[in-house]
Structure formats: C-alpha cells, structure tokens
A and B are shown apart, each in its own frame.
Chain A
C-alpha cells in the first residue's frame, strides 16, 4: 500500500469507529488517488457518512490511521485539515450573503481583502453564479444554493473535496444535470472528490472509482464498470441493481463456462469465476434488462431458457416491466424495450420463455 502513497490523496488503514454499541466503521482500509472522483456507495446506516465525517475531522477514529496528502490526521481538528465538506443540506450561513459565505474560509485563513475579492468572484464565476453575490441563501433556488456550497468549499483550493449526498435534495431533472456538471467541474479543477451517496446511478455516472459499503465494512472497490459487470457479492449485486438470482450448485466447469444445477429448474450456464469447484453453492444473477422474453421456444442464440408465467406487466414509457414467475416459484424482473410495438407485448397470465446469453449472467459465491 505504501508504494501507492506518492499518488495517494487519502490513505485509511484499519479505521474503526464505534457509535455506542454499533460498529459504524469496521476496519476500513482504502486508498484514494490524487485527482480522482471517488464515490462511497451504500444504504443508510452503512457507515458511509461516518467515513466522510472521519475524513473531515468531525469525528476521530477509535482505531486505525487516516493520512491525507501524506500527513497523519490523528488529533487534527477540522479547521486545520486540507479538506472541505459540501454538506447534505448545504449548511449555508443564512445571515451572510452569497459572497460573504464564499469568502468565509479565506477570511478565516487570514487572507487580505484584496486577495479575497478576486478569488470569490472567480469561484462564483466557476459555478455560474456571478451576479448573485449579494443575495441571501434564502433568496436562491435549491440548485443555486448547492452551487454556492460548492463555491464556498472550492474557493479554498482544498486538497480533497468531500461531498455528502450532494444531489439528494434536488429534483430528478436537476439531479441529472448536476451529475454531469459536478463531474465536469471535478475534471476542470483536478481536485480529489470524495462523494458519499446512496444512489447507485449517481455513483456510477460520476465516479472514476467507487466503494460499496454495508454494515460499516467495505465490500468492493473498483471502477463503475467493474462493479456493474462483476459484483463481488450478492449484496453488491442487489444494491447495484441486479435483482434476479437463482441459488444452485456448480455441477461442472468447462473452461470459461460453469454449469449450475438449480432445483426445480434444471441446468443453467454462467461464466466461471475463480475459486469454483463442483458442488460449490452459488448464486446465478442476471440484470433485468439483459433478459429476453419470447413466445417462441426456439433457442435462437440464447443458451439459457426457462418457461415462465407473466405475473404482471407494467407499461413504463420506452420499456415494459414484467414480473415473471419461475417454475420454482421465484419472481424475476425483466425489462424489455417497447420499440417493437404492441403486438409483441405480454399480458398478465400469459406463458412465455425467458432467455439469456450465458455471458450476461454473473456467478456469485453464496
């Protein structure tokens, strides 16, 4: 891990934090590289916010070590850390104007007014808020308040910008715009961003790498593509949006392909992963959008096929969402594009064939 420290922005080693009886963060080790957009993804109570507060310095770890930009952070209070936090509710000072909010950090650092003015103007320009410097936060929209919070942090040129659910308070349309904008901003300023979120889409869209947390532990770290295509555990898979799984046992492994016996269904195939032997209990998982639904029993290129009954058909604009019941009474979701017109749609109660290609499935150790 130490060889990485030259380009490491944040190094956490075996960090543990207790809140009463619960382990909020459990032996967390993580290296975040300089200049990367790093997302920490997890459900509420997973310890992701505590991790962020440990980095900001509002809480001190019970055990372990945090190093930011080569400096050990043991006992260093928030006002002496090279990091700034964008709060979930923005925490803008309501009694100060936009410009006074943005200038606050520079003032506290003891910079001269002649230097503060241009830097505040530059920061407001960067978040497209020039001209609003004399407004009070209460006179701004939610999106504008968010951009003030960003400017207030970035104006200090911190080594690391911490973001706590930065888009959580925005409506969906604005959130999608801000995802793109945040990513572009991060690339422009080149500062390490560490963003905590419970929204998997947000994390996948914005981050260079992300970590998935659950019950205070780090489950998987990787690029969005790695996490999306090769989730390492059942929890990561379900949290990242894979809702379909089949429990079974490995029957045979031939090269890249494993054959899995599933009770009540028969044999299905999936790409083999490491550590598999015949008899290993596994989960075969597959994403709803990778499934194909057909009235024709012909395999036509799909290596896996199960006869199912459509339990529910939901029209959702460009897609149909189907809930289908498998022979072993499990319910799966399938998302099928609507481009083919109404003739090919299925209705509740119909029988159909669920098909998928072996390469689309992911095997997870159970």
Chain B
C-alpha cells in the first residue's frame, strides 16, 4: 500500500497532513452531551405520564396524536409565522446594513461590525427585560410617542405578538447581518460596475448580480435566524406573556408546570422534525450547492 502511494503520488502534490484523531474530543462531546440526552427524550416521548407526574414506561403514540388538538396547532402555527416574519424582517433590515458595512472603508468595517455584536456583551435576559420597560403601557416608547403627540392613550404593546416580533428581530438581527456581510464583502465591486456599464438599472444590478452572488449569505442568515426564532422561549415568555405563547413556552409548560414529560418530549421532537423539514426544503429550493 505504502509503495503504491509513493510511486503513484505526483511529485508536485505532496500529501496533505491529516490529523483524524483531532475529531475525537468534539465527537465524544457531541455524543455524550447531545446524542445521549436526545435519545432519552426520544424514548420518553413514547412513554406515558405517571399519576404524579413521573414517567411510566408503557409504549404509546398518544403523545403525538394529542398534538393534533387545535389548541396546540394554533401555537405551532403562531410560532411558524412569527419565525417566518422575524426572518423576513431581519433579511430586509440586515441586507442594506450588511451592504453598507461591506462597502465602507476597511477601517470602518471593523468598527461597524463591532457595533453590530456589542449587544452580545450583555445577557440576553437582561436585554429582554429592558425591552419590557420600553414596551409596557407607561413605558419609554409609549411616553415618547404621546409626548410627540402621536398617541393620546397608553400603547398596550407589551404581551402582544408585536412585542414578541420586536424582541425576536432585535435578538437575531446580528445572526443575519454577519453571514450577509461575509458574502457581500467578497463580492467584487467591478461586477457591479460591469452590470451598470451593460445598461442595467440600479434595481437590475441588485436582482441580477448582487442578490444571486450573495445567496450563500442569504441562506445562511435565514437558517441562523429562523431556527432559533421558531424555538424561542425567553422572548415570548417575557414579552408575549400567556397570550402570545410559542412552542418553546408550551414545551417548558409541559415539563415544569403540567409535569407531563412524555408530551413535552413529543412536542420537542415534532418541533425538531419541523425545523429539519423546513431547512432541508429551503436548502434544496435555494440551491444548497452555492453554500
């Protein structure tokens, strides 16, 4: 074997050094800390709830069939459209921002990217509490708007779907901006000039050249925003309250309040399957080759 390799290897292509054992620590970590608990949750999803909230190992599909209840379907539906809306708004807001950063002078790019990730320096929970202060009826937003004479009565924003949407967009916008920036920064400016020179109007330059060439960034950004939005828990809990529940809150409710672990596990797996299906469909439709 080794003699064949020695004789057959082209002189100008030395074998690349590979260190296969380097994947052992992360693989072990993933199997122990992710694979095992996931398998447990999967097993529990087919068990039954005990009388006092424990787990009874009696096989049943009942946890999955009871998800079809309109009450739960409505929560799934709300989660889905809130996640889709969050993704779309993040894309619409993030694209111009990423474009401006990518086209800024090099020394400005670092500063602007730094500003984008500054929110990560503060705990997400704390920042969400801050949004409660901004959004509540006598809060900052309401006060400012009435001081400007735009509204005349307190704005009941907190504990609505709109509040959840604001919180989700706020929380996940950087996850959209960073991959978009990475894609746009690589875009050769002379391609934009070439399209312009070849009679394309600014809008056509965008749709025919800028957008197709930044597709990998759009796909990555959308996946990175959509997945955590769909499973969001803290934001809808604090800003949506009981009226604007999402799947994450429902799962938490089943585990900690109702103490129905098997049903909570089934919900988790349906959510995971849904995310997987949505992302696979999206990647196929969007051309995963360009990733």
Residues of A within 8 A of B (CB): 56-58, 77-80, 83-85, 87-89, 91-95, 104-105, 108-109, 152-153, 156
Query: Which residue of the partner chain B has the closest CB to A95?
Result: B212
Query: Which residue of the partner chain A has the closest CB to B200?
Result: A108
A92 to B188, CA, bound (A): 10
A56 to B208, CA, bound (A): 20
Contacts of B204 in A (CB 8 A): 108
Instruction: Report yes or no: A108 in contact with B198, Cβ–Cβ below 8 A.
Output: yes
A176 to B2, CA, bound (A): 47
Known: A87-B193, A91-B193. A104 touches B198 (CB 8 A): yes
Rounded to whole Å, the gap between the CB of B174 and the closest CB of chain A is: 27
B75: Cβ under 8 A from any A Cβ:
no
Known: A89-B188, A95-B213. A79 touches B199 (CB 8 A): yes
B92: Cβ under 8 A from any A Cβ:
no
Rounded to whole Å, the gap between the CB of B286 and the closest CB of chain A is: 13
Instruction: Report yes or no: B201 in contact with A79, Cβ–Cβ below 8 A.
Output: yes
A57 to B188, CA, bound (A): 19
Rounded to whole Å, the gap between the CB of B88 and the closest CB of chain A is: 23
A84 to B199, CA, bound (A): 9
B190: Cβ under 8 A from any A Cβ:
yes
By size class, the interface of chain B is: 10 to 19
Number of A-B contacts (CB under 8 A): 60
Instruction: Report yes or no: A89 in contact with B196, Cβ–Cβ below 8 A.
Output: no
Residues of B within 8 A of A (CB): 188, 190-191, 193-201, 204, 208-209, 212-213
Task: Show 17 A/B contacts (Cβ-Cβ < 8 Å), sorted by A.
Answer: A77-B196, A79-B196, A79-B198, A85-B193, A85-B197, A87-B190, A91-B191, A91-B193, A92-B194, A93-B191, A94-B213, A95-B212, A104-B198, A104-B208, A105-B199, A108-B198, A109-B199
Instruction: Report yes or no: A87 in contact with B199, Cβ–Cβ below 8 A.
Output: no
Query: Which residue of the partner chain A has the closest CB to B215?
Result: A95
Rounded to whole Å, the gap between the CB of B164 and the closest CB of chain A is: 37
A366 to B44, CA, bound (A): 95
Which 3 pairs of residues, A with B, have the shortest CB-CB distance? A105-B198, A91-B194, A108-B199
Most buried by A among B190, B194, B201: B194
Instruction: Report yes or no: A79 in contact with B200, Cβ–Cβ below 8 A.
Output: yes
A79 to B192, CA, bound (A): 12
Rounded to whole Å, the gap between the CB of A152 and the closest CB of chain B is: 7
Instruction: Report yes or no: A91 in contact with B188, Cβ–Cβ below 8 A.
Output: yes
Contacts of A56 in B (CB 8 A): 193, 197
